[in-house]
Amino acid sequence: MHYDLIVIGMGLTGLMAAKTAAEAEQKVLIVGKGIGSLYLFSNTIDLLGSLPIRKKAGEGLSQWIKDHPKHPYSKTGPEKIEEALSSFLSLFPPPYSFQSVGEGNCLIPTGAGTFRPTYFIPMTMLGGTSINEGHTLIVGFKGFKDFYAHYVADQLKCRGAALTLPDFPDQEMTATALARLMEKKSFRENIGREIKKQLHHETQVGFPALLGMRNPIQVKEDLEEILSANVFEIPILPPSIPGIRIFNRFKEWLIQKGVTFLPGYSVSKPIIKGKRCEGIEMSHPPVITSYSADRYILATGRLMGGGLVASDERIYEPIFSLPVTQPGSREDWFGKSFFNNLPHPVHEAGILTDSSFRPKNENGNPILENVWAAGSILAHHHCIDEKSREGIEIATGYWAAKSAIGR
Amino acid sequence: MMKSHWPKNNPDVCIRCATCMAVCPVSRVSPQFPGPKQAGPGAERFRSPDEPSVDKWIDLCIGCHLCDMVCSSGVNISELNLIAKAKYLDEKGRPLRDWLLTHSYLYGWLGSLLSSLGNPILTNRFIRWMIEAVLKIDRRRELPSYESPTFRQWFKERHSKGTKKVAYFYGCYTNTNEVDVGKATVQVLEANGFEVILPPQRCCGIPMLGNGDFRGARKMGLYNVPSLLKTIRSGFDIIFSSSSCGHTIKHEYSRMLSIPGAEEVAKHFFDIFEFLRNLKESNGLNARFNELPLKAAYFAPCHLRVLGMGLPALEILRLIPGLKIENIEADCCGMGGTFGFKKEKYEISQEIGKDLAEAIDRLKPEIVLSDCEGCRMQIRHLTGLKVLHPIQILRDSLTR
């Protein structure tokens, strides 16, 4: 099968790239090893969480880009980042829309009972940005081991309550099972009435982020009506229900647009002729299937998803064998102290690209004419420390696709 | 059990990320099943071939393979589950019911021959109560009715003609229970200029494999592969219309069942819509479709998804003028082949199916399409809607 564009990787970067190309009426194939990282991580959209709270994002970002000329953000600049973010937001019309609070970062509570800065949050998390300590109840469920309401509440100086689930006493529950139950009106009404009994004078109730998969706003509003209190979601451990909501929305949209959506199997080999990629082979034993395209976007992520692989000696990129900029030797990967304030050098490793996101060699020339790279696989960012993961994914996924289809 | 044939699978590469927990249809609806992460790589560390099995919940794995598909570390979770299930059932013993459910290929011809007599009996409420009491086949689940003549008998009378030739693996259910799926597949292939031949074939073995009966499944494979190989070596590609038969022959025969020659078969074994999509790609598809004003919803079966070819039926059906077709956003119908017939699993099967039924209801289609007979049975059962294989709709638009 031949396509205009093949996107390799099904995380937020790949999905943004596929969306951007599909909007330009391109014939697109998106392939993923597994199903991408949205099932695990992204609850909210980080842009640059390391900026001071209340600092205007646009200003902060401009200055920050000036100070970090090698960073992926510096390849686009603030205006283009904003354009990419708008494209993301357009996929999420109300009720389950994303928004920033004020003009900069906001702080939301986490399942560890800490606060973390982030930029766009879904409407279900809005209440968490203004926790009124004495007036907030944090609710968990007995049998659900990924969220401990009393622990979280202690950290946040609120009150906690752990509910026994009426139909499932003494049984272990998963986040997806609970999210599914929440979609059932009778279940959430029971939960609501039970919490109502335990409510003292609280005006806010925080839940782990599992208030339904498909229609969380309806779940939130129904609970609010029963409780006469504001309800909000708190991001928790993987799997991430809010991440799955993002994934499902992209998937639904892409399939409707005619994009071929191929989760599951990894690229076993690229077919390279000279300076061009002519095709990819996907291995699903015992069958190998070939696909070809005019252009390719590499959005395979970092070490966890296998976009980069670490051997004993060095870090390498397994599909195209692209050069990976990295510390000189393994001894230099980590700082002296693990919990240092400075990020470990190994996290800056990644693929170097030109300004249009084509991987480049040490002379600055593109390695392959028709391959672009985007997302966290790029070099010179510290997305964990900077709290910039989704921003990088959205901005570079969008602009790599724009560059690719513009040629 | 044939331990020498177990494929190599390293559960220790599991990074415990829990993506599989988010897609498992069974743990989504039932806390009785701990989910793929625990049941597969988690429990595997505590299993020993010499010790008795303690996995009393392992039989609840529905065998959808979605966990394998989403795993970014490449752990074949459902395979670990299936091997553990086989051991558990070998030790516990299998009821007669499981033998009956997995050997329909032996009595399908009889069902077809006596269909006018047998079909009413199988819907009789007293008989169904008896079957439930004795065999533990849930009485709320409709038993498949038989058709006469069979697909094979119909095909014998047909003189398939075309300039090119292709072979067809139709599967048991098409032969005796949904003959029109086979007819439609043949008619569409003929409309594309292919003469169709039927190589000698038996049940692919998936009912047995799904119930942990490796020996039984392997027997089927050892019959089918030489026959299919002979066809392939005479220059034919082979088409299948049932995604579950297709997945079994294409992927399980070599990896799980170690059938000699299965790898060569796999390379020439194509889903009907994958085949049509390839024809379209080479400008060889007969696309003279008549207008078909119909609102349809398409559901991609799990075993079609794990074939890793996208949704070719959706791509081809979108070419039919007038046909409004939407993809149903739901995972797993809950039927799981024989799973949904079993009394102790019927409730779980229905709970999984409810999510699909709700997704269908939101689309309000006139008709639902799906490539797997199990999914079609379940969707009819859940919604009462007309449910067809997508090839039947394609045929209708070509021959109208």
pLDDT in tens, A130-182: 998 889 999 999 999 999 999 999 999 999 999 998 777 778 899 999 999 99
Residue A178 has which token pair?
Answer: 């609970």
Q: Does some domain include residue B143?
A: no
Tell me phi and psi for residue A293, to 5 degrees: -155, 165
* pLDDT surpasses 50 at B2: no
* pLDDT surpasses 50 at A99: yes
Do B317 and B386 fall into the same domain? yes
The CA distance from A403 to A263, in Å, is 25
Whole-number pLDDT of residue A170 = 75
Q: What is the CATH number of the domain that holds B40?
A: 1.10.1060.10
Do B246 and B184 fall into the same domain? yes
Q: Does some domain include residue B50?
A: yes
Whole-number pLDDT of residue B6 = 58
Do A317 and A208 fall into the same domain? no
Chain-chain contact of B31 with A171 (C-beta, under 8 angstroms): yes
pTM, two decimals, is: 0.96
Do B87 and B107 fall into the same domain? no
Average pLDDT over chain A, rounded to an integer:
95
Chain-chain contact of A40 with B281 (C-beta, under 8 angstroms): no
Locate the chain A residue with the closest alpha carbon to B267.
Answer: A287
Domain end: A237, A256, A288, which one? A237
**Domain limits at A163?**
98-237
Domain end: A202, A237, A272, which one? A237
Do A200 and A276 fall into the same domain? no
pLDDT in tens, A333-366: 998 888 877 889 999 999 999 999 999 998 999 9
Q: Does some domain include residue A157?
A: yes
pLDDT in tens, B280-307: 999 999 999 999 999 999 999 999 999 9
**Using CB atoms within 10 A of its CB, is residue A80 exposed (0-12), middle (13-18) or buried (19+)?**
middle
Do B301 and B380 fall into the same domain? yes
Chain-chain contact of B71 with A34 (C-beta, under 8 angstroms): yes
Contact list in A for residue B329 (CB cut-off 8 A) is: 248, 251-252
The CA distance from B119 to B252, in Å, is 33
The CA distance from B306 to A347, in Å, is 34
Chain-chain contact of B19 with A2 (C-beta, under 8 angstroms): no
Contact list in B for residue A40 (CB cut-off 8 A) is: 17-19
Contact list in B for residue A262 (CB cut-off 8 A) is: 308-310
Secondary structure element (H or E) that encloses residue A3, with its range = strand A2-8
Number of separate domains in chain B:
4
Question: Using DSSP, how many helices (H) and how many strands (E) does chain B show?
Answer: 24, 8
Contact A325, A401 (CB under 8 A): no
Tell me phi and psi for residue A188, to 5 degrees: -70, -25
The string over B137-154, giving b where at least 16 C-beta atoms fall within 10 Å of a residue's C-beta and e elsewhere, is: bbbebebbebbbebbbeb
The string over B63-79, giving b where at least 16 C-beta atoms fall within 10 Å of a residue's C-beta and e elsewhere, is: bbbbbbbbbbbebbbbb
Q: How far is CA B13 from CA A308, B68, B73, B77, B129, in A?
A: 16, 13, 6, 11, 48
Q: Does some domain include residue B223?
A: yes
* pLDDT surpasses 90 at B375: yes
* pLDDT surpasses 50 at B1: no
Average pLDDT over chain B, rounded to an integer:
95
From the list B31, B250, B307, which residue is nearest A177 (CB)? Answer: B31
Do A391 and A283 fall into the same domain? yes
Do A181 and A308 fall into the same domain? no
Q: What percent of chain B has pLDDT over 70?
A: 98
Do B127 and B194 fall into the same domain? no
Domain end: A186, A203, A237, which one? A237
Chain-chain contact of B27 with A177 (C-beta, under 8 angstroms): yes
Locate the chain A residue with the closest alpha carbon to B275.
Answer: A1
Tell me phi and psi for residue B372, to 5 degrees: -120, 135
Contact list in A for residue B318 (CB cut-off 8 A) is: 258
Contact A348, A333 (CB under 8 A): no
Whole-number pLDDT of residue B251 = 96
Q: Does some domain include residue A328?
A: yes
Chain-chain contact of B19 with A287 (C-beta, under 8 angstroms): no
pLDDT in tens, B87-117: 999 999 999 999 999 999 999 999 999 999 9
From the list A34, A39, A265, which residue is nearest B308 (CB)? Answer: A265
Q: What is the ipTM of this complex?
A: 0.95
Torsion A138-A141-A146-A149 (CA) sign:
positive
pLDDT in tens, A312-322: 999 999 999 99
Contact B384, B358 (CB under 8 A): no
The CA distance from B86 to B75, in Å, is 19
Do A270 and A223 fall into the same domain? no
* pLDDT surpasses 70 at B3: no
Locate the chain A residue with the closest alpha carbon to B26.
Answer: A177
Tell me phi and psi for residue B270, to 5 degrees: -125, 140
Question: Which pLDDT band holds residue A277 (cuts at 50, 70, 90)?
Answer: very high
Do A271 and A122 fall into the same domain? no
Query: How near does any CA of chain A get to the CA of B31, in Å?
Result: 6
Minimal CA–CA distance to B44: which of B71, B82, B70? B82
Name the residue with higher pLDDT: A98 or B1: A98
Q: Does some domain include residue B232?
A: yes
Rounded to an integer, the average pLDDT of A274-289 is: 95
Q: Does some domain include residue A66?
A: no
Tell whether A282 lies on the interface with B, counting CB pairs under 8 A.
yes
* pLDDT surpasses 60 at B5: no
* pLDDT surpasses 90 at A407: no
The CA distance from A174 to B28, in Å, is 7
Chain-chain contact of A262 with B255 (C-beta, under 8 angstroms): no
Do B327 and B345 fall into the same domain? yes
**Domain limits at B339?**
287-399
Minimal CA–CA distance to A304: which of A112, A119, A3, A38? A38
Whole-number pLDDT of residue B7 = 63
Whole-number pLDDT of residue A54 = 80
Contact list in B for residue A238 (CB cut-off 8 A) is: 17-19
Longest dimension (CA), chain A: 71
Q: Does some domain include residue A126?
A: yes
Residues whose CB falls within 8 Å of the CB of residue B170, separated by 6 or more in sequence, listed in order: B151, B152, B181, B182, B185, B198, B201, B240, B241, B242
Do A225 and A260 fall into the same domain? no
Contact list in A for residue B298 (CB cut-off 8 A) is: none
Minimal CA–CA distance to A270: which of A284, A283, A285, A286? A283
* pLDDT surpasses 90 at B187: yes
Q: Does some domain include residue B128?
A: yes
Contact B247, B204 (CB under 8 A): no
pLDDT in tens, B357-374: 999 999 999 999 999 999
From the list B19, B28, B72, which residue is nearest A306 (CB)? Answer: B72
Contact list in B for residue A171 (CB cut-off 8 A) is: 31
Residue that is written with structure tokens 């995604």 in the block: B243
Minimal CA–CA distance to A117: which of A44, A178, A217? A44
Residue that is written with structure tokens 């970092």 in the block: A302
Contact list in A for residue B326 (CB cut-off 8 A) is: 256
Name the residue with higher pLDDT: A172 or A231: A231
Minimal CA–CA distance to B38: which of B63, B22, B21, B51? B21
